[in-house]
């Protein structure tokens, strides 16, 4: 099925069985670094960190040479430089990344119309209908890697499998610059020995909780009763993880993705302990979330807030709304209520607001009266003014800092 090279990377040799592996997951290798290296070839083979050079910056991407020192995306730049003092810090050029991503996605869509972008540097493809044009799934994977290298000048890793979950795990196992195809009949053989923490949706904390109970591999997860997993992970996640451990994942490639949540976050230049200021930030972020909801014709059935403290511990709190809404004031009000229930044991480094359980606008049953009627008029007027004078030209007074300026936006990060 696969071979392993000296670095531990798994790969499929030419002609390997690819029966039933019609879903491909394509992931660019250290994408931001790769794009910067196109513009500056002297960066090739060196430990490179993509980040702004300031005291609060986080790593957006790191070359594999830097990753060998333990540098990872979302790590504070100061910590990254402690681990790899010789790293070259390159400021990000996001417009170049977006342009290059669009070209990569165009290559995918020239091969199959069934493409589901996951982020700026990865996508799922369903290739079951293009065999006569391009060959078997393994041959399509090789074609994609070749075209991305020849036409863009960067490398990618491709995983193929019968399900999205296994395809994504396969691409990760083949990185960098690899191809790993898992035939449908050998799905469980591939999954069983792999760490439980390598599963999609099992984060470091969940993996630690599982390991504390001697559940270390996917085989262990598969052999653990769902009831036991529920006590460790919660009922919803336990059922999902157990299904994935058994190779069951019914999700198909979605060419028109429906957003499941809309969120905005803010990383502060200095840690914040002022609860009044944090409340104002929640309302500001809630307004930004609401604008995106209204533009997308959506309403939120629930609200969540996210807090990252100075020690980097991150927590979330969420609650359902009595009725779906796209009104920033109501989203912000619930966000403030959630904040009031948080034990503010330390200063806050990052705060975020997320709208969840999205539904099409107007799909809920109409009430006899609308408690949000006046706020809808106010925010609708703000939308019209923004369209006329530009986004952000009109804002609530509570959104401004003491010096009259809005806080800076946090740059995006590359997926690992």
Share of the chain above pLDDT 70, in %: 85
Domain containing residue 214: CATH number: 1.10.150.20
DSSP state of 58: B
- pLDDT tens by residue, 62-112: 999 999 999 998 888 999 999 999 999 999 999 999 999 999 999 999 999
Number of domains in the chain: 3
Q: Tell me which H or E stretch contains 36.
A: helix 31-39
Q: Which of 357-361, 365-369, 412-416 has the lowest mean pLDDT?
A: 365-369
Residue 416: which pLDDT band, with cuts at 50, 70 and 90? low
| 175 plus 211 within the same structural domain | no
Residue 55: which pLDDT band, with cuts at 50, 70 and 90? low
Integer Cα distance of 76 and 60 in angstroms: 10
Mean pLDDT of 300-325: 91
- In sequence order, which ranges of 223-371 are alpha helices (DSSP H)? 226-233, 235-245, 275-295, 328-340
Token pair recorded at residue 138: 């393994």
Q: Is residue 411 part of a domain?
A: no
Q: Dihedral angle at the C-alpha atoms of 116, 197, 57, 396, nearest 10 degrees?
A: 60
- pLDDT tens by residue, 115-160: 999 889 999 999 999 999 999 999 999 999 999 999 999 999 999 9
- pLDDT tens by residue, 328-349: 999 999 999 999 999 888 999 9
- Hey, which bits of 77-198 come out as E strands? 88-90, 115-119, 122-126, 156-161, 179-181
- In the chain, % helix, strand, coil (3-state, to 5) comes to 40, 20, 40
Q: Is residue 212 part of a domain?
A: yes
Mean pLDDT of 307-320: 90
| 142 plus 99 within the same structural domain | yes
Token pair recorded at residue 27: 């992931």
| 223 plus 353 within the same structural domain | no
Last residue in a domain, options 161, 184, 207: 184
Binding site, residues?
27, 121
Domain containing residue 302: CATH number: 3.30.1490.100
Say if CB 105 and CB 9 are below 8 A apart: no
- pLDDT tens by residue, 221-268: 999 999 999 999 888 789 999 999 999 999 999 886 666 789 999 988
| 215 plus 361 within the same structural domain | no
Owner of token pair 């290296």 = 37
Q: Is residue 360 part of a domain?
A: yes
Mean pLDDT of 213-224: 96
| 66 plus 170 within the same structural domain | yes
Output the CA angle 311-316-317, nearest 5 degrees: 135
- Hey, which bits of 65-213 come out as E strands? 88-90, 115-119, 122-126, 156-161, 179-181
| 62 plus 97 within the same structural domain | yes
Output the CA angle 52-57-58, nearest 5 degrees: 105
Residues ≥6 apart with Cβ < 8 Å to 102: none
- In sequence order, what are the beta bridge partners of 195? 217
| 199 plus 178 within the same structural domain | no
Q: Is residue 120 part of a domain?
A: yes
| 115 plus 212 within the same structural domain | no
| 23 plus 98 within the same structural domain | yes
Q: Is residue 393 part of a domain?
A: yes
| 200 plus 317 within the same structural domain | no
HEC string of 161-180 equals: ECCHHHHHHHHHHHCCCCEE
Which SS3 state, helix, strand or coil, does residue 373 take? helix
Rg (CA), the chain: 23
| 40 plus 162 within the same structural domain | yes
Helices (H) and strands (E) in the chain, counts: 15, 15
Report DSSP letters for 378-408, one per residue. HHHHHHHHHHHH-TTSS--GGGS-TTSPPPP
Domain of 166 in residue numbering reads as 1-184
Residues ≥6 apart with Cβ < 8 Å to 324: 299, 300, 301, 357, 359, 363, 364
Q: Is residue 355 part of a domain?
A: yes
Q: Is residue 150 part of a domain?
A: yes
| 221 plus 121 within the same structural domain | no
Owner of token pair 């609708």 = 380
Q: Is residue 409 part of a domain?
A: no
Q: Tell me which H or E stretch contains 95.
A: helix 94-111
pLDDT of the residue at 287: 93
Binding site for Mg(2+), residues?
27, 121
Domain containing residue 23: CATH number: 3.30.70.270
Residues annotated as catalytic (active site), given as ranges? 122
Other CB atoms within a 10 A radius of the CB of residue 237 amount to 15
Strand order through the sheet with 88-90: 61-62, 48-50, 88-90
């Amino acid at each position: 099925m696969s071979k392993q090279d000296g670095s531990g990377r798994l790969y499929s040799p030419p002609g390997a069985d690819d029966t039933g592996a019609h879903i491909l997951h394509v992931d660019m290798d250290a994408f931001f670094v790769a794009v910067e290296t196109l513009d500056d070839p002297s960066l090739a083979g060196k430990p490179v960190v993509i980040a702004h050079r300031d005291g609060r910056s986080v790593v957006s991407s790191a070359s594999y040479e830097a990753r060998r020192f333990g540098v990872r995306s979302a790590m504070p730049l100061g910590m990254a430089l402690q681990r790899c003092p010789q790293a070259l810090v390159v400021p990000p050029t996001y417009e170049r990344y977006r342009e290059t991503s669009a070209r990569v996605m165009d290559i995918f869509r020239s091969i199959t119309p069934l493409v589901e972008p996951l982020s700026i540097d990865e996508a799922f493809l369903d290739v079951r209908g293009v065999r006569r044009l391009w060959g078997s799934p393994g041959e399509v994977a090789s074609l994609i890697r070749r075209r991305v290298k020849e036409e863009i000048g960067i490398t990618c890793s491709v995983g193929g499998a019968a399900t999205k979950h296994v395809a994504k795990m396969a691409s990760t196992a083949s990185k960098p610059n690899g191809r790993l195809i898992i035939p449908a009949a050998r799905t469980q053989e591939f999954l069983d020995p792999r760490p439980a923490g390598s599963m999609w949706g099992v984060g470091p904390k969940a993996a630690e909780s599982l390991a504390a109970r001697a559940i270390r591999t996917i085989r262990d997860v598969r052999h653990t009763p769902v009831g036991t997993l529920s006590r460790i992970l919660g009922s919803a996640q336990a059922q999902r993880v157990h299904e994935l451990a058994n190779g069951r994942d019914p999700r198909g490639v979605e060419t028109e993705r429906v957003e499941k949540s809309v969120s905005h976050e803010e990383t502060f230049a200095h840690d914040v302990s002022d609860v009044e200021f944090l409340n104002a930030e929640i309302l500001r972020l809630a307004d930004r979330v609401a604008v995106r909801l209204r533009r997308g014709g959506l309403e939120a059935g629930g609200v969540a807030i996210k807090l990252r403290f100075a020690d980097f511990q991150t927590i979330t709190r969420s609650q359902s709304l009595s009725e779906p809404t796209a009104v920033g004031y109501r989203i912000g009000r619930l966000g403030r209520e959630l904040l009031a229930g948080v034990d503010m044991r330390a200063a806050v480094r990052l705060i975020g607001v997320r709208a969840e359980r999205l539904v099409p606008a107007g799909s809920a049953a109409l009430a006899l009266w609308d408690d949000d009627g006046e706020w809808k008029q106010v925010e609708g007027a703000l939308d019209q003014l923004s369209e006329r004078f530009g986004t952000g030209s009109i804002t609530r007074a509570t959104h401004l800092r003491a010096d009259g300026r809005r806080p800076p936006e946090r740059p995006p990060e590359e997926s690992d």
